[in-house]
Amino acid sequence: MNTPQTLDLQVDISQTNPMPLRGSFSCAPGQMLALVGPSGAGKTSMLRVLAGLLQPENAKVSVGSHTWCDTAQGLHIPPQQRRVGLVFQNYALMPHMNAVDNVALAILHLPSAQRLQKARDWLQRMGLTPEQQQRLPALLSGGQQQRVALARALARQPRLLLMDEPFSAVDQMSRRSLYGLIADLRRDLHIPIVLVTHDLNEARQLADKLVVMDAGEVLQEGTPAHIYRSPRNARVADLVGIPNRFHGRWLGSRGPHALPEGFAWLEWLPHAEAKSGLALVVKDKGRLKTWGQPVTWVIQGDGFHVNPSLTDDATTDNQRLVLHVHVSALRSLGEISLASLTLAEPAGTQLQLTLSGTQRQNVQTGQQLTVSMDCRWIHVMPVRR
């Protein structure tokens, strides 16, 4: 595809009608951005704004030097002039046309022979054989139909590719194959790609960037790694499925002893109303000022090391804490296991860990063991009242 590599997507929207949508985000050429959030979060509405199918109340949308919408200037480019590729959950193929004709339908501006050849080229690139290309959609599998839909979306050389839950209607095996296809295509597609999905694992596998939405509002934008390690607030932590979120009290410098600059004391509480808990040393980013203020905090599984014994060889210091735990539940998911651990202190607190490799081999339900927690992985968030 010879599309220039300057087609970065820029979106800034703020409206209350016909439905609330608010926030801004960007997507570079060759990048995939995933809009994630619960049902009703506004993900598909945001996609419709980008496609030009929904005229916003107050917004600016541009792709490179092409401004598609600027309500301040009274500008709204209609969908057919935006050159957007759309891939839907239900494929939206013409049932009476074979695969080649379905793709050719998107490039009617070309002469007939050129149109059909280009359609065949794209279908071949999608992995469909010449015989499959002649089939009606009803005679193709769900994964094959989605490949036809993707070929149709890309045949017009779009400036932007939009995909609305494109893999949810196909089986798991076809889904994995489509993931590989998308990964291969992205090496050559120098355009922004926006994906709407409810599947957080899918978003983490495919996307370079996540935009977390709730109730029509963009709550946070960033790489999956950044958002999972540093969610903006407790709601974002919930929406992206961070399992280890705990209550705490911010103590700042008022802890058991003085700390070096850049560190502070966090009290780990077993529940929000608890009067006392376990003192932890965490990084102080300077955003929390009030001593004793309630906070929530999260920590990724990367911050834990499981030792299947009651001792831990790791050196205990201000940034590393040894926790004594009881394995209350263990569930195998093929090559990984999900472990529920009950802590001795703070008493009754539950910890959820994903174990893999040799780390899970000697762990059993009912076992007493120790877990080393690296407090450098802790991310603290204020409680909004």
pLDDT, residue 4, reads 44
Could you write out the three-class secondary structure of 259-281?
CCCCEEEEEEECCCCCCCCEEEE
pLDDT, residue 15, reads 93
pLDDT, residue 385, reads 63
Place of tokens 């700390």: 259
3 state SS of 49: helix
Q: Give yes or no for a contact between 122 and 155, defined as CB atoms under 8 angstroms apart.
A: yes
Among the listed residues 346, 242, 253, 257, the one whose alpha carbon sits nearest the alpha carbon of residue 297 = 242
Q: What is the DSSP letter of 37?
A: -
Other C-beta atoms lying within 10 Å of the C-beta of residue 345 = 13
pLDDT, residue 213, reads 97
Per-residue pLDDT in tens (0 to 9) along the chain, 385 residues: 444 446 899 999 999 988 899 999 999 999 999 999 999 999 999 999 999 999 999 999 999 999 999 999 999 999 989 999 999 888 889 999 999 999 999 999 899 999 999 999 999 999 999 999 999 999 999 999 999 999 999 998 999 999 999 888 788 888 888 888 888 888 788 899 999 998 898 999 899 999 999 999 999 999 999 999 999 999 999 999 999 999 999 999 887 888 888 899 999 999 989 988 999 999 998 888 888 999 999 999 899 998 866 655 444 456 789 999 999 999 998 888 999 999 999 988 999 999 988 778 888 999 999 999 999 999 999 987 6
pLDDT, residue 171, reads 81
The residues with which 209 forms a beta bridge, in sequence order, are: 33
Quote the CA–CA distance of 147 and 126 in Å, as a whole number: 6
Quote the CA–CA distance of 50 and 161 in Å, as a whole number: 10
Q: How are the residues of the chain apportioned to helix, strand and coil, as percentages rounded to the nearest 5?
A: 25, 35, 40
Helix segments in the chain, DSSP class H: 43-51, 99-104, 112-125, 130-133, 142-155, 172-185, 200-206, 224-229, 234-239
Specify the CATH number for 301-374; select among 1.20.1370.20, 2.60.40.730, 2.40.50.140, 3.30.200.20: 2.40.50.140
What residue segments make up the domains of the chain, in order of their start?
Answer: 9-239, 245-298, 301-374
Q: How far apart are the first and last CA of the chain?
A: 51
Distance from chain centroid for Cα 220: 11
Answer whether 0.85 is exceeded by the pTM: yes
Q: Which CATH architecture has domain 9-239?
A: 3-Layer(aba) Sandwich (3.40)
Q: Give yes or no for a contact between 341 and 350, defined as CB atoms under 8 angstroms apart.
A: yes
